[in-house]
Structure 1
Amino acid sequence: MLFDLPPAPVLYEALLARDGAYEGRAYVGVTSTGIFCRLTCPARKPKPENCRFFASVPECLAAGFRACKRCAPLAPAAESDPAIRTLLGALEQRPAYRWSEQDVERMGLDPSTVRRAFRRHFGMTFLEMARMERLRAGFQTLGEGGRVIDAQLEAGFASPEGFREAFARLAGVAPGKLSRVPLLAAHWLDTPLGAMVAICDAERLHLLEFADRKGLPAELRRLNGLARGTLGIARIALHDRLAGELDRYFAGREGGFSIPLALHGSAFTRAVWAELMKIPPGVTRSYADIARALGQPLAVRAVARANGANQIALLIPCHRVIGADGSLTGYGGGLWRKQKLIEIEHRLAHGSAVDDNRTPGAA
């Protein structure tokens, strides 16, 4: 489990010693290169401030790191499944290619079998992995004001517009229509539970979602329509403020957020979200609890729909709503993330800081 790892200094010493005791139990992501490795990797050791530690391969991938070619942390899964080995090799050869299920079929593989195999080993499908590979580094470089050529080289795109085109496909916006002076600015934020996309204007947060959420493209298209085509890629002051609050949240130092929110929903939906924001960290409620709090005890299904329509994760804490029987129920970011968030907040509520092994101040 992510937060059951030993402290970062212990893992860093194990990395320096190439300690095999952590094989399969801990991995290191190097922020200066965007690569993740086994602790036994023979490559030159990074500085401690450039290291983030993870308990599993899916967490490394979800955080936006790519596998090291020297120590091959994906190798055990690849060696056990020829289809995985074939597709990982193809992705390594063509990281900027927009892969499809038709491509998988042309390689003589069954897409449904491949989906199950990748989810079992990596917590995401092959197509999701390929998309993350394309968006990861370029989004960060370009969004932070870096030169297009730097984003191009880091992300491995064939042209200076390659990354903009990849993001445009995700957002459902033609490349030429992405605003270069956006009123709504999209930025990629790194968290211990994976990359998130944050969309802000100068004063308010409009969207915060995990980058691999399936509903994200539709949400981006809807926001771009509401903003009359002024969605673009940029890092602005509100993103920095949000990154700081997320750092403190994941470190277990603060459970609240002060970022102003732009709420796009009906009056009933906004009322549900207001009730969600009243739930303190470390506490959970059921859909029926929320319906009763609204004075509409029969509106349980409507509450569930409003909960699912939330597009500002964490700050509107829909993860704090569980089934009446105590089950986690659905969560757009994945049930594993919902469980992690509840664990973080339980520790926060009981005064136990979370060691997320992050570089202080990293966004």
Structure 2
Amino acid sequence: MELYDSPARHVAARLVAQAGAGALGGLGRAVPLRYVDRDDPRPPDERWVRVRPSLAGIGGADLALVTGRASAYLTAVVGLPFVPGREVVGRVEQQVALPDGRVLAAGARVVVDPVAPPAGSVSLSGAGSPSEAGAGVGARAAEVGVGGGGWSRVTLAHRGQLHAVPEGLPDERAVLLDALARAVHAADRARVAPGARVLVVGAGAVGLCTVLALRAFTDAGSVAVVARHPRQAQVAGRFGADAVFDPAGAVAGVRRGTHALRVTPSSGGSFLLGGVDVAVDAAGSAQALATALRTTRAGGRVVVAGTPSDRVDLTPLWARGLELVGAARTSADPGAGDVLARAWELAATAPLDGLVTGGYPLTRWRDALAHAWDAGRLGAVRVAFDPAAPS
């Protein structure tokens, strides 16, 4: 699958996406995405390896890119044509020596980490064809954790991005490693004090995994979640949430739980005097970030873990002295290895069965995108491609 440059389609896709679930029949026809059948990409040097994806998730960052909702900031690191798909589990085509000294045989299962090794080690300057530059992760995109390449029959990955899948761990769990790692990193960035009250806004894969990470790796007190759909609320409770609110009732729910004072201005949404100690925006929408800002106590912390896609009023940030913290994983993160180790721990032990659905062949990409875009309403947490599936 190839995302290509088409200003008209980018505008059309954004308009269709803004129209909501009722317009999903037109999403596949609007997005500047196409199925192309090219020769397998050629590794530019020995640092690059061909991987055949067996599952590739359709995450929020991918949807933001293909629907034109992603910030223009990211266009500087995502050259077109570009193959989306940052959540990849697959098999290497040849024997490969990993940076830690382990040697994987051809056919070994790996997860491709969308975050690249340190800058300067992943250049694709020798790759001239669209299949090579597009199917590979791409140095600049991977350095800031955008990543891609999974929505393809064969993709290129730098050997520093490969992580062996433990024997016995199903692909359906392994493909969630990036969502789990993002959640662990967000929990670290939140710096939750013992007993602190936390609100997670958004109950997609990253939001739900953040609840897992908060319960596993912090001493948070109460953890509440804002979820739009019944299945999300059920999973949030199973993962350790003490309370779940729908978006319309989030401010009222947090007010009751924290005994805060609700204030309603003459225009705009209500906010709280008081509230949670930490809020995590795991959805990446203007509404989600606004909810986080308006329900966090003065001097509290708001963590942006979702990929931002809209503008939001930052007056609460200024007026209440909030700390706004970004939580994208990048190659510059200290302790990246520890984050991945804890993500693997959750992949092996957390109750993740049934979270990944779909298994769409690439030729059914329009159906897959529609399912992923409306996943919450349809009772899904993560929808995935199965690039090896017959058309």
Same fold (TM over 0.5): no
More helix by share: 1
With normalisation by structure 2, the TM-score equals 0.30
